[in-house]
Chain A
Amino acid sequence: MNQKVEFEVEEEEEERSRIPISERPEWADVRPLPQDDGPNPVVPIAYSDEFSETMDFFRAVYLADERSARALELTQEAIFLNSGNYTVWQFRRLILEALSVDLREELEFIDQIAKNNTKNYQIWHHRRWVAEKLGSNVASNELQFTGEIFSQDAKNYHAWSHRQWVLQTLGGWDDELAYCDELLQNDIFNNSAWNQRYFVVTKSPRLGGLEVTRDSEVAYAIKAILTKPENESPWRYLRGLYKNDVNSIANDPRVASVCVDVLTNEKECAHALNMVLDLLCNHYQPSIELKNAIDALSDNSDLELAKKVCSVLQLVDPMRANYWEWRKTTVPARD
């Protein structure tokens, strides 16, 4: 899925002085193998001569399972022409293993192509494979590499997955919470950084898990909410801190209180109302302040509070009117 990423890869226009493979003495013994496209192929691509020739030679060595230095060289040329060809990458791994190549050089090779192809599954998978073989020595290098990617594209999905894999497999947790904070300072709307923060506070062996970190994280999220109440990320983060423990979210007075604070200033904040609704559906006994805040928004005095919140949401958040109408029908009966 998400193949669209492969469209966004920019082609390299640079003209290189290239000797055709068929004219290179070291390839004289190999017969290139053309693609078996059939007489009338569909989706035929108008390949350049260079691409066709390179792939014809690649097919020949791949089929012969030739794990040699020249084959390794050839995979590099093929990858430069189309870094999305997973067959080439996989064969390259087999050759790297067979020749016991120094994988630090391989990491440099990936650096060269990765920076122009940051949304390519194959490159990231290859990078993970190399980093795993090199072990914990490269942890900081890998964290730094993803950091460079984030300085250009702070939400790069593959880079975040790679970073999480590095932390879990190779280590390097020490500064991760501070790093998340730094990214959030730059852009408090960066949901990927919030997600990473959640990953760290739940998974870092340094921090002792959510039981230990929850209290300070609630404070962190609330502070962010009060700065920009329209920012959905900290609201979801706050709710996430009580995942699998829905009763305690209703028992933490800070949660209801931030909702009241926000609604006092921004009556139409759908995220605050969404949270209030969750609290009420989880048997939260509403405070006078909260009741008053909701009553101030709705003149429909007959309804019970949770349904009243739904009615308000239908008006202030018309994009989701169907959803709020449905939520009204799912409010649990009062105990």
Chain B
Amino acid sequence: MAKMTASKTQEEQWMVQNQVFRIYDLVYRLPPHAQSVNFELRRDDHIEYLTRSLTQLGPNFTVLDANRPWLCYWIIHSIALLGDCVDDNLESDAIDFLRRCQDPNGGYGGGPGQMPHLATTYAAINALLTLGGHKSLSSINREKLYSFLLRMKDTSGGFRMHDGGEVDVRACYTAISVASVLNILDERLTQNVGDYIISCQTYEGGISGEPGAEAHGGYTFCGLAAMVLINEVHRLDLPGLINWVVFRQGIECGFQGRTNKLVDGCYSFWQGGVAAIIQRLHLMIKEQLGLSSTFKFDCITESDDDSSDTDREKPMLEGLNNNGYNFIKGSKGMRPLFNSMALQQYILLCTQEEAGFRDKPGKRRDHYHTCYVLSGLSVCHHCNVKEAETPPLPKDVMGPYSNLLEPVHPLYNIVLDKYYEAHEFFARL
């Protein structure tokens, strides 16, 4: 059936994995001190690269002229993950700029005067929430945004990206995510969206962009997170999804996006984020596996002598809009099912540049990869602690402990402190 010579997939795979192994080999042959330098996160250099981009971008960024709120989010979120924030002037400029991207009829476009679009709306909201503070949070027109979301609702139950735009799982996630975090999610928005997402879970176990297409890391994250936010995650085949996602971590130690595709640093978050979400779905998974409630589950045992007590005291808020909050307040019933140390090694040794991060060796850095590699690294750092706020142990962090990044809310990919601030702000509205 197959030819005797290597296929294109194999050739490309071998080329990348050899390149990756060469780097590992080189680093592990170094004397201890020289070796440890390679595992350091070049925090200051990353922050400088990011901050500079916020004020100045060259002409080759013209191809991203309809994605400027994305640039804002990738940069501002990356800076927040690194434990820093932009200065007051820049913060005020960012709020002002995003206000100009806000459509008078709700939602945010890719730049001032462009049509509102769900993806750039998600990026703008996440950027504003990450900036935080009254001025930023109150700049969002929630009433108009709600009517924009409703207008994007398709008869299939899914959402379309913009007026006359495409319907897919990204659109579902970005619509549900912003509605949830802004406390405007209701049954009109959630109606049948679960049916649409279910129809995108493929025979492989992952989720595709549209019904029939191939299981893909980005869409799997979007589909799973959206299903949790609308409280319908039990409708997915979770054991099948888990099996698919753990097999996406390859011999290079990073994640690939699809079966038999090449490793790419950005899937550190898309797939790693799926793995992080899974850790808090233990009860649902147990139920799908038909395991009795008295079954002793594989709980984290290292750092949680009093776990059962704290579990009971968690506030459970009622209603659709609290699914994201209750999710993060619940504790992780499962240890991570992916290999956090391997992923950290790929991130630090293969994707980190002098400043910024890249897809894989041989590619060039960009803000998208910097954002999602760092988000994935944060997931790695915090995957072994049972409670969201507990600091990780030194053994959970590859390299010096000073590499430690801020934790995120994995359903929204917003730094946790900023999420709490926003949650409190919008809960009162």
Write the residues of chain A forming the contact surface with B, with a CB cutoff of 8 angstroms.
Answer: 1-4, 6-7, 9, 11, 33, 35-38, 40-48, 51, 55, 59, 62-63, 81-82, 84-87, 90, 93, 121, 125, 128-129, 154-155, 157, 160-161, 164-165, 168, 184-192, 195, 198-199, 203, 223-224, 227-228, 231-233, 236-237, 239-241, 243, 274, 319-323, 325-326, 329-330, 332
Contact = CB atoms under 8 A, between A and B. Distances in A.
A170 B64 CA distance: 33
Given A44-B56, A82-B62, A161-B213, A320 B113 contact: no
Contacts of B213: 157, 160-161, 164, 195
Given A44-B55, A164-B213, A186-B3, 14 more contacts: A35-B113, A38-B100, A41-B100, A42-B72, A42-B93, A55-B65, A86-B115, A87-B115, A187-B8, A188-B7, A191-B214, A232-B259, A243-B203, A320-B246
Contact of A320 (B65, B119, B339): B339
B70 to A, nearest CB: 6
A234 B243 CA distance: 15
Contacts of A188: 1-2, 7
B166 A121 contact: yes
Contacts of A2: 170, 218
A74 to B, nearest CB: 15
B247 A320 contact: yes
Contacts of A164: 210, 212-213
Contacts of A192: 214, 258
A125 B259 contact: no
Interface stretch (B22-30, B141-149, B156-164, B397-405): B156-164
A203 B112 contact: no
Contacts of A44: 55-57
Nearest to B339: A319
Given A87-B115, A90-B164, A332-B290, A191 B259 contact: yes
A82 B56 CA distance: 19
Contacts, number: 250
Contacts of A43: 53-54, 57, 61, 68, 71-72, 75, 97
Contact of A329 (B93, B243, B297): B297
B110 interface: yes
Interface stretch (B187-195, B330-338, B385-393): B330-338
A3 B57 contact: no
A282 to B, nearest CB: 11
23 contacts: A1-B173, A6-B63, A6-B64, A37-B112, A41-B97, A45-B59, A46-B61, A51-B65, A86-B115, A87-B110, A157-B209, A184-B1, A186-B3, A188-B2, A191-B259, A191-B261, A195-B204, A198-B202, A224-B2, A233-B260, A236-B244, A239-B203, A322-B338
Interface in B64-114: 64-68, 70-72, 75, 89-90, 93-94, 96-97, 100, 109-114
Interface residues of B, number: 101
B414 interface: no
Contact of A236 (B72, B166, B210, B259): B259
B96 A40 contact: yes
What are the 10 A-B residue pairs with the smallest beta carbon separation, nearest first?
A: A240-B203, A189-B9, A188-B2, A187-B7, A191-B259, A195-B214, A43-B71, A1-B218, A36-B112, A2-B218
> Which secondary structure dominates where chain B touches chain A?
loop
A237 B244 CA distance: 12
Given A43-B68, A82-B63, A236-B203, A1 B334 contact: no
A172 B60 CA distance: 40
A330 B218 CA distance: 28
B90 A42 contact: yes
Given A1-B222, A36-B113, A84 B59 contact: no
Contacts of B112: 35-38
Contacts of B250: 319
A288 B288 CA distance: 30
Interface centre among A81, A168, A232, by most chain B C-beta atoms within 10 angstroms, is A232
Nearest to A164: B212
Contacts of A84: 63-67
A38 B334 contact: no
B342 interface: yes
B165 interface: yes
B1 A93 contact: no
A1 B10 contact: no
A47 B336 contact: no
